[in-house]
């Protein structure tokens, strides 16, 4: 929305025109060094294994791995990665105060059918030189992954693309869409897409930290079973491996909590959809 290199309008004037407080603009991210990427690769491994660890304890783990690192740097790298400890908080921080936050709609709601609720989450994927982010759209009841996208930035565009792909490929849409309060899911592009399709919006709030656990299991399985077995020079290579594993997860990987059925077989039975890759 705000162009820092606009040929005619200063950042201050652009903020005035759209009614945004200039002090609330996200600061320009500093470029991560090669050492930063090496540390983030270890952080990703630690976080996947122990997602409840915060910056203090992750710093101690990094020191045990031979890195002389301060807590401030750990927090900076965690922010780049888009991760935080999965623990209850006295009050959930809002990444962008100019964005509207929606109420949590799933409290005491028994989800009985496919497409009652969809959800989304983002994870960090390390590469040999740099990193990428993966978003997945999942049906809450069947745990089927309906769409996913990989991006080298955390901007909301790749999340919106995944949402559109999920609706287009299934020909369906959820009654409720639940996410956390990350800026990708509180921004105008994402919210506008949901509202224009008549989808009710739900966001995790105080005391709802456990709601992301099952999609965190998806990330854990993906990373242990595929991502960490290979190295990736390009985003294209990474996407190919993610695509292969997601197909395996949906169509071949039998889940104990689903009665040893596959997610897509349950979703297909519930919605009478043809099989997709």
- Mind giving me the DSSP string for 179-231? E-S-HHHHSHHHHHHHHHTT-EEEE--TT-GGGGHHHHHHHHHHHHHTGGGS-
Do 189 and 140 belong together in one domain? yes
Percent above pLDDT 90 for the chain = 49
Q: Is the pLDDT of residue 96 over 60?
A: no
- Give the number of other CB atoms < 10 A from CB of residue 229: 9
Q: From 66, 81, 96, give the residue that closes a domain.
A: 81
By the 8 A CB rule, do 95 and 182 touch? yes
Do 140 and 257 belong together in one domain? yes
Do 179 and 252 belong together in one domain? yes
Round the CA-based radius of gyration of the chain to a whole number and report it.
Answer: 19
Selection from 1-5, 122-126, 197-201 with the highest mean pLDDT: 197-201
Do 44 and 168 belong together in one domain? no
Tens of pLDDT along 160-201? 999 999 999 999 999 999 998 888 898 899 999 999 999 999
Q: What is the pTM of this model?
A: 0.74
Alpha-carbon span 239 to 241, nearest angstrom: 5
Q: Is the pLDDT of residue 89 over 50?
A: no
For residues 261-266, average pLDDT: 94
Owning domain of residue 122: 117-271
Do 63 and 151 belong together in one domain? no
Least confident of 27-31, 88-92, 203-207: 88-92
By the 8 A CB rule, do 167 and 197 touch? yes
Nearby residues of 69 by Cβ (< 8 Å), 6 or more positions away: 39, 59, 62, 63
- Would 11 be classed as within a structural domain? no
């Amino acid at each position: 929305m705000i162009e820092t290199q606009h040929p005619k309008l200063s950042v201050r004037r652009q903020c005035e025109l759209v009614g945004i407080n200039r002090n609330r603009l996200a600061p320009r991210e500093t470029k991560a060094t090669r050492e930063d990427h090496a540390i983030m690769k270890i952080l990703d491994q630690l976080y996947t294994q122990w997602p409840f660890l915060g910056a203090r304890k992750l710093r101690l783990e990094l020191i045990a791995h031979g890195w002389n690192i301060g807590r401030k740097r750990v927090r900076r790298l965690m922010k780049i990665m888009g991760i935080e400890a999965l623990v209850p908080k006295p009050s959930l921080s809002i990444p962008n105060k100019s964005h509207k936050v929606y109420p949590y709609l799933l409290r005491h709601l028994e989800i009985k059918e496919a497409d009652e609720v969809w959800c989304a989450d983002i994870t960090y994927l390390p590469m040999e030189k740099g990193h990428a982010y993966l978003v997945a759209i999942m049906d809450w009841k069947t745990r089927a992954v309906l769409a996913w996208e990989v991006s080298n930035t955390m901007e909301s565009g790749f999340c919106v693309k995944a949402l559109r792909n999920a609706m287009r490929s299934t020909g369906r849409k959820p009654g409720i869409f639940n996410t956390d309060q990350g800026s990708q899911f509180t921004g105008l592009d994402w919210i506008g897409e949901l509202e224009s399709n008549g989808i009710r919006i739900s966001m995790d709030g105080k005391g709802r930290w456990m709601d992301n656990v099952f999609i965190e299991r998806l990330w854990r399985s993906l990373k242990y079973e595929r991502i960490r077995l290979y190295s990736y020079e390009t985003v294209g290579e990474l996407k190919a491996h993610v695509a292969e594993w997601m197909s395996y997860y949906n169509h071949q990987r039998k889940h104990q909590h689903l009665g040893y059925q596959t997610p897509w077989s349950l979703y297909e039975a519930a919605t009478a959809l043809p099989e997709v890759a």
